[in-house]
């Protein structure tokens, strides 16, 4: 059975466009529900975290180095370090642990 690539692309396009166009056409008033507004506010952050978290653990040869870099990065960001400082700290931790393990 040979897959029909055109049909796959048509379904993918319909789903993608549907999720983008339907909210614009169906919701014309501002959203006033407090719960829904707060939920929609955090959706981009959660999506980014869900896409980034597995990559952090799988980007290194050993998951221990990735997990340690994640802990160091979260701690540095929590303490107010800038993005280059957090990235440098994560890279140093990963490099050192990859050499040791």
1 vs 4, 5, 15, CA distance in Å? Answer: 9, 12, 24
Task: Name the percent of the chain lying above pLDDT 90.
Answer: 58
**Mean pLDDT, rounded, of the chain:** 90
Q: Give the mean pLDDT of 39-66.
A: 90
Residue 100 in tokens: 């040791």
* Domain ranges across the chain: 33-100
Q: pLDDT by residue (tens digit) across 1-33?
A: 577 889 999 999 999 998 888 888 888 888 888
- Output the 3-class SS for the chain: CCCCHHHHHHHHHHHHHHHHHHHHHHCCCCCCCHHHHHHHHHHHHHHHHHHHHHHHHHCCCCHHHHHHHHHHHHHHHHCCCCHHHHHHHHHHHHHHHHHHC
Report the distance separating Cα 87 and Cα 76, nearest Å.
9
């Amino acid at each position: 059975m040979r897959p029909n690539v055109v049909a796959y692309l048509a379904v993918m396009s319909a789903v993608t466009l549907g999720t983008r166009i339907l909210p614009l056409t169906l919701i014309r008033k501002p959203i006033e529900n407090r719960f829904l507004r707060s939920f929609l506010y955090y959706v981009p952050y959660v999506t980014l975290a869900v896409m980034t978290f597995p990559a952090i653990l799988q980007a290194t040869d050993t998951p221990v180095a990735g997990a340690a870099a994640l802990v160091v990065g979260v701690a540095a960001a929590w303490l107010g370090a800038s993005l280059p400082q957090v990235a440098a700290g994560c890279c140093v931790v990963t490099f050192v642990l990859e050499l040791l393990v």
